[in-house]
Structure 1
Amino acid sequence: MRTNSFTKNMSKKSNKELETIFNEKEKYTVEAIQAVIWELENRNLIEKTAISVDETLKKSDAVNAVISTEKKENNESPFEELELPFLYSKKAIQGFTIFFSTIFGAFLLMQNLKEMNKPKARIQTLTFGIVYTILSAIILNYLPKTFFITLLFNLIGYVILTEYFWNKHIGKDLAFQKKQIWQPLATSIFIVLALILLLLLPQLLNI
């Protein structure tokens, strides 16, 4: 018998719901689409020879691609439990880690772990981000003040965040929908500007 983890779920859905999922296959996981096809065949709504499963999955961006559409907060899908998660990409984490610091990249990864419902991993990521940022600041204080050295420390932080924390707690090959970075980017810029202002404030007051 052809079954997977979504078979029981799909067997409870109406014909219209199955058709909706199938027609919007790019939004859902490969297993979910496979279960839909099997259920439609079991109900004799499609012929087993009418649709090639392999061809259907190849056409779906859910196999390996990252879909760059943003979820609308007030327009949740009735099949949300089947959809690919919305996550900040590794590239986004890389950019925040390099241009801001490791703690900023850690916060993005923490948002991903929240989406994946992994509270323990979030705490571990936050702890690493704080400790690594503090240690980096202490070590950099004794090293020549060059952009290259700072960049090197940030790159090491990025590698640990993605190659260890991401791969361990999220999964190296997990397909997901790409989450937009504009809100955390604006917040990060505001924080950096505020810190710069605080550092310059004593000098400005002495003018």
Structure 2
Amino acid sequence: MVNKKVIEKLSDRELENYIKSDSKFVAPAITYAYEVLQSRGRVFEESEKLQIEQMISEKTQAETDEKHKYYKAWDENMTENPSAIELYSNKVIWIFSILFGVFFGGFLQAINFVRLKNNKVAVISASFGILFSAGQVLLLNYIETLDYHFGKSRFLPLFLSAIGSAILIFIRDKSQPKELKYKGRSFVVPLIVALVIYIPIVYFMFLELQEQINQIKQ
């Protein structure tokens, strides 16, 4: 993200580099540089204005296309059509599965299929999320009892969650209509729910860890 205050601190010579025809800077940075130069009394000829404004327009379009391409990799059928059904995006489901557990990802996917009136796959998604998360906890607890360095790795839970996420994606791909167009649904409520659940857990884990450290010191 471009900070306009940073741009405003640059010298005129530095700002001129932003508006050159071969500028490598992003559109917002060029726009800010252009505006700052104008505010400092720099007079542009009409041909210069057209060249700069066209460059900003082209870069803005290119950056938007690149952003859409990135999101399309996750959600190929996502659209901005206001009449399209609202679903939690694949990217959101994946992130929730990794950060908060496959349990959450499974329920978000289940909500999607309920909205698509496919209750069978909704139940499968939710059940898988519950069973996989329970199995993950049991497996991690078992591995913790073994004298394996890998078992104590902080990356193992993320690795297992990634496997669970991949299975959720497989379920979705096999069950969701290929031609379905949808728009992204806000994830604010699920995020609040996840934080409300996880913050106390992390807090008590911290207290337990602190207690263990105090016992070791004694």
Q: Same fold (TM over 0.5)?
A: yes
Larger radius of gyration: 2
- 2:177 counterpart letter in structure 1: G
- What corresponds to 1:157 in structure 2? 164
Q: In proportion to residue count, which structure has more helix?
A: 2
The C-alpha deviation readout for 1:125-167, integer Å capped at 9, x for no partner, is 111111110111111123312222111100111011112x211
> What CA RMSD, in Å, does the superposition of the two structures yield over aligned residues?
2.7
Match of 2:112 in 1: 112
Q: Answer yes or no: is the 8 Å Cα contact 2:97–2:165 preserved in 1.
A: yes
Alignment of 1:167-206 (within 5 A): 167-199=173-205
Of 75, 78, 87, 1:66 maps to 78
The aligned length equals 131
For the Cα contact (< 8 Å) 2:77–2:179, is it kept in 1? Answer: no
1:126 equivalent in structure 2: 126
User: Could you list the runs of 5+ residues in structure 1 that have no partner in the other structure?
Assistant: 1-63, 72-82
Q: Which runs of 5+ in 2 are unaligned?
A: 1-75, 144-150
> 1:38-58 CA distances to partner (integer Å, 9 max, x unpaired)?
xxxxxxxxxxxxxxxxxxxxx
CA distance in 1, matches of 2:168, 2:186: 19
Query: Any conservation in 2 of the 1:88–1:112 contact (CA below 8 Å)?
Result: yes
Higher relative CO (CA 8 A, sep ≥ 6), structure 1 or 2?
1
Asked if 1 retains the 8 angstrom alpha-carbon contact of 2:77 and 2:180, the reply is no
How far 1:203 sits from its partner (Å)?
8.3
Q: Aligned with 1:124: secondary structure? A: helix
Matched-pair identity in %: 26
How many angstroms apart in 2 are the aligned matches of 1:150 and 1:166?
A: 22
- How far residue 198 of structure 1 moved from its aligned partner, in angstroms, is 5.0
Deviations 1:74-127 (A, max 9, x none): xxxxxxxxx421111110011000111000101110110111011222111111
- CA deviations over 1:49-70 (Å, ceiling 9, x no partner): xxxxxxxxxxxxxxx652358x
